């Protein structure tokens, strides 16, 4: 079995990006519940993200969503983040909240609307150039609701053409990350519904195009670790979006409802070298918080990932391999279960203390007074939301 030292080394390397939109008001299609102290602009979002980094030690970057996080001076926002000990990370595009995109964005039958969508993607890359961000993340709500509504094949051709125009603008040290989701908001066809479609387009584009696996973007019962293992095998897994789902949307806290699934996924990441030095895989939370407090929701999410990663690293790889080769089915399963059933919380407390972090992040944040402070200070103006 791996030693605690090996776990500590992986935890120290593990960096998880938090999303700016997690700190704003968000909810379901039926209701958004406002909370006191919610940020009113991207600068305050970054301040909250810095708090999560302070109490977890693993979140040195914050992802932006354009135009939700549009500002007049991105260099000023980047400098503000740096002063707080974090940096601006992935730039997420938004081609799903404009009336023009009712029939799609990059797959729309109208060439003018497709050009508009591509111009927005180029705008996102220009922001990356200013902030020093490495990754452009693309998720398209494009699809159809009815048979015959549009040509499935032609929509893929339009998607390919739009992606090529975007890829051509990507800088030498930048990446294009293509996310998939098996349905929603389109109910008959979705233009990027699965990892195969995303992989097909990324392979066509070239080495700077990577697949994103969102852990909440799969049908119930999908073996996500199988997808992860295959994408790592062909060196095309560029990023994770962490969350969880039980029916339609994907904004439950990662690992809260099915921690065993998260452990299995992290095991495949570990055996595939995804936690090694120089790994191309980035880890990002992609969650909104409807009824739970924003900053504590992010802290708990990071802790859940840290626990799953620690357990994955503890898997006795030699014993597992021996059991697999000998055909010892239950023995191999027991090796995984031994690691999963290990209580890694004491190990994580020790790691945090050694790193100069409070060993109890949730309690430490609750006692800090920050929540009361921002509730008192952030009065007036418009609270940030997800733009719906």
Domain assignment present for residue 143? The answer is yes
**Location of structure tokens 């200070």:** 377
| Residues 6+ away with beta carbon under 8 Å from 228 | 213, 237, 265, 268, 269, 272
Domain residues for the domain of 364 are: 4-375
Could you tell me where the DSSP H helices lie in the chain? 4-13, 42-56, 74-83, 111-131, 152-167, 195-205, 224-233, 259-271, 294-313, 317-326, 329-340, 345-354, 361-368, 370-377
Banded pLDDT at 28 (limits 50, 70, 90): confident
Q: What is the secondary structure of 326-341 as a DSSP string?
A: HT-HHHHHHHHHHHHT
- pLDDT value, residue 355: 95
Domain assignment present for residue 21? The answer is yes
Could you tell me where the DSSP H helices lie in 57-110? 74-83
- pLDDT value, residue 2: 67
Domain assignment present for residue 122? The answer is yes
Domain assignment present for residue 79? The answer is yes
The percent of residues in the chain predicted with pLDDT above 70, rounded, is 98
For residue range 327-362, list pLDDT tens digits in order. 999 999 999 999 999 999 999 999 999 999 999 999
- pLDDT value, residue 14: 97
Banded pLDDT at 252 (limits 50, 70, 90): confident
User: φ, ψ for residue 107 (rounded to 5)?
Assistant: -110, 5
Residues constituting the chain: 388
For residue range 114-135, list pLDDT tens digits in order. 999 999 999 999 999 999 999 9
- pLDDT value, residue 382: 86
Lowest mean pLDDT among 30-44, 54-68, 82-96, 158-172: 30-44
For residue range 210-241, list pLDDT tens digits in order. 999 999 999 989 999 999 999 999 999 999 99
* Residue 215 three-state SS: coil
The answer to whether the beta carbons of residues 52 and 284 sit under 8 Å apart is no
- pLDDT value, residue 192: 98
Would you state the structure tokens that stand for residue 78, as one six-digit string?
């980047």
Would you state the structure tokens that stand for residue 103, as one six-digit string?
């029939």
**Location of structure tokens 């593990």:** 14
Q: How many domains are there within the chain?
A: 1
* Residue 242 three-state SS: strand
- pLDDT value, residue 184: 86
CATH number of the domain encompassing residue 226: 3.20.20.150
pTM of the model: 0.95
Domain assignment present for residue 386? The answer is no
Q: Residue 137 forms beta bridges with which residues?
A: 92, 177
Neighbouring C-alpha atoms within 13 Å toward the C-beta of 197: 20
Domain assignment present for residue 383? The answer is no
Question: Mean pLDDT score of the chain, rounded to an integer?
Answer: 95
Residue 51 has pLDDT above 70, yes or no: yes
The percent of residues in the chain predicted with pLDDT above 90, rounded, is 89
For residue range 57-72, list pLDDT tens digits in order. 999 999 999 999 999 9
Would you state the structure tokens that stand for residue 272, as one six-digit string?
């595939």
For residue range 134-179, list pLDDT tens digits in order. 999 999 999 999 999 999 999 999 999 999 999 999 999 999 999 9
- pLDDT value, residue 173: 95
The answer to whether the beta carbons of residues 284 and 16 sit under 8 Å apart is yes
Domain assignment present for residue 387? The answer is no
Domain assignment present for residue 51? The answer is yes
Banded pLDDT at 268 (limits 50, 70, 90): very high
DSSP 31: -
- pLDDT value, residue 140: 98
Residue 290 has pLDDT above 90, yes or no: no
Banded pLDDT at 109 (limits 50, 70, 90): very high
């Amino acid at each position: 079995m791996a030693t605690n030292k090996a776990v500590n080394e992986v935890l120290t390397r593990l960096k998880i990006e938090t999303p700016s939109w997690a700190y704003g008001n968000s909810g379901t299609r039926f209701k958004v519940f406002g909370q006191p102290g919610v940020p009113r602009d991207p600068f305050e979002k970054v301040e909250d993200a810095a708090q999560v980094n302070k109490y977890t030690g693993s979140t040195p970057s914050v992802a932006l969503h354009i135009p939700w996080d549009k500002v007049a001076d991105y260099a000023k926002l980047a400098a503000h983040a740096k002063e707080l000990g974090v940096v601006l990370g992935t730039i997420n595009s938004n081609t799903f909240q404009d009336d023009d995109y009712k029939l799609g964005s990059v797959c729309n039958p109208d060439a003018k609307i497709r050009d508009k969508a591509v111009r927005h993607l180029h705008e996102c890359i220009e922001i990356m150039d200013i902030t020093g961000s490495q990754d452009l993340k693309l998720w398209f709500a494009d699809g159809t609701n009815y048979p015959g509504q549009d040509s499935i094949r032609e929509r893929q051709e339009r998607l390919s053409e739009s992606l090529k125009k975007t890829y051509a603008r990507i800088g030498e040290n930048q990446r294009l990350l293509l996310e998939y989701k098996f349905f929603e908001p389109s109910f008959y066809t979705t233009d990027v519904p699965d990892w195969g479609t995303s992989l097909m387009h990324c392979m066509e584009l070239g080495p700077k195009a990577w697949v994103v696996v969102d852990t909440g973007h799969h049908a119930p019962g999908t073996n996500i670790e199988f997808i992860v293992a295959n994408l790592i095998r062909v060196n095309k897994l560029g990023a994770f979006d962490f969350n969880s789902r039980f029916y339609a949307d994907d904004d439950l806290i990662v690992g809260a409802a099915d921690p065993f699934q998260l452990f299995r996924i992290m095991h495949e990441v570990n055996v595939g070298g995804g936690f090694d030095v120089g790994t191309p895989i980035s880890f990002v939370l992609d969650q909104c918080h409807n009824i739970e407090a924003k900053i504590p929701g992010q802290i708990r999410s990071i802790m859940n990932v840290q626990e799953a990663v620690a357990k994955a690293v503890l898997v006795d790889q030699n014993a597992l391999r021996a059991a697999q080769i000998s055909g010892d089915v239950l023995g191999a399963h027991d090796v995984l279960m031994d690691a999963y059933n290990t209580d890694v919380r004491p190990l994580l407390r020790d790691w945090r203390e050694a790193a100069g972090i409070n060993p109890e992040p949730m309690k430490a944040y609750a006692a800090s007074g920050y929540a009361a402070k921002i509730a008192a200070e952030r009065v007036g103006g418009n609270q940030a939301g997800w733009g719906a």
